[in-house]
Amino acid sequence: MSTSIPVVEQLPTLPTEEVLSAVRSAFAELAAGTAVQPAQTVTLLPGGGDVIAYQAATSDAYAAKVSPYLPQPDGPAIVTAWTVVLSTRTGRPVVLCDSAALTVERTAATTALAVDLLARSDASTLAVIGAGPQAHAHLRYARAVRSFTDVRIYSRSLREAPDGTTLAASADEAAAGADVVLLCTSAAEAVIDVTALSPGTLVTSISTNVPKAHEIAPTELPKLEVYGDYRPTVTASAGELVIAAEQGIWSPEQLRGDLPELLTGTCERPSGERPVFFRSIGLGIEDLAIARLLVPST
């Protein structure tokens, strides 16, 4: 019995540029066909609850992320997620890590990649809606891709603005006149009025895993230029996209592009005529990309 791979329970601080570069490479590999992203599987547990398994492979590694959802008789359900990464050169595991912190990093880095690809190059005003770990990570990664000089933040629970930011009185006040608006809430309903935004403004949304959760009104989608992280998964799972498609007011063919398409120049960029909306769901290859940074040398 010997222990020879790192088991990472607490994420070390990862260099922002390295994380951004890893996520960018993962989507470039997806575009080039050297990364694969199979559908997730759900195993219903005999005692109630379930385990969702996500798999992903890039040119030299494979990852399986398993995430149990375990209802408790008295109190909130236990939800965890663990990722095991195998080298596809050796067939051996290289790291097993707690995916919770990993998820925050990869989600924020993916949003920042979208900001880099979709926001005006001279974007200077940023609005962040939310004040949790996702909001903080989004702010950090967004600052790495644009030089924001005016940063407004709004959250119902926030009483004091973090350093270098201004506290707004409402989400709509924070968003008014901003070049980029990052929605980082766990809201299940619209948090800003996107019809009040100027053409070219970029709004990003991550929302939650709750079925049909959304941070903007599905009815406003036709007024926006809509992009997503990965076409097959975002059109199937994003609450506002699914609702608008069910209502017949928007269809998946209207998605202008996704990150692999934006990286390879195979979709139209924003026209500047309408506000731009970027929605992400999250992919196993993002987890794999970050998890590999935890391994000293593979």
Which one of 82-90, 118-126, 139-147, 240-248 is the stretch in contact with its own copies (CB under 8 A)? Answer: 82-90
Choose which of 4, 121, 147, 157 interacts with its own copies (CB under 8 A): 4
Residue among 45 and 210 whose Cβ is closer to its own copies: 45
Q: How far is the CB of 20 from its own copies (least distance, A)?
A: 22
Burial class (CB in 10 A: 0-12, 13-18, 19+), 151: buried
CB count, 10 Å around CB of 269?
14
Question: Alpha-carbon distance 108 to 229, whole Å?
Answer: 12
Q: How far is the CB of 284 from its own copies (least distance, A)?
A: 10
Verify binding: residue 45, its own copies, rule CB under 8 A: yes
Burial class (CB in 10 A: 0-12, 13-18, 19+), 163: exposed
Alpha helices in 62-147 (DSSP H): 99-118, 133-143
Q: Are 292 and 298 in contact (CB under 8 A)?
A: yes
Verify binding: residue 84, its own copies, rule CB under 8 A: yes
Pairing of strands 125-129, 93-98: unpaired
Count of all residues that appear for the chain in the document = 298
Residue among 1 and 169 whose Cβ is closer to its own copies: 1
* Subset of 18-37 contacting its own copies (CB under 8 A): 29, 33-36
Distance of CA 95 to the CA centre of its chain: 23
* Subset of 234-273 contacting its own copies (CB under 8 A): none
Adjacent-strand bridge partners of 70:
78
Adjacent-strand bridge partners of 50:
44, 69
Choose which of 16, 23, 58, 112 interacts with its own copies (CB under 8 A): 58
Question: Alpha-carbon distance 233 to 211, whole Å?
Answer: 14
Which one of 7-15, 131-139, 183-191, 261-269 is the stretch in contact with its own copies (CB under 8 A)? Answer: 7-15
* Subset of 86-125 contacting its own copies (CB under 8 A): 86, 88-93, 96
Verify binding: residue 75, its own copies, rule CB under 8 A: no
Residue among 36 and 249 whose Cβ is closer to its own copies: 36
Question: Alpha-carbon distance 192 to 149, whole Å?
Answer: 22
* Subset of 188-207 contacting its own copies (CB under 8 A): none
By the criterion CB under 8 A, which residues form the site for its own copies?
Answer: 1-10, 12, 29, 33-36, 38, 41, 43-47, 49, 51, 53, 55, 57-60, 62, 64, 66, 68, 70, 78-80, 82, 84, 86, 88-93, 96
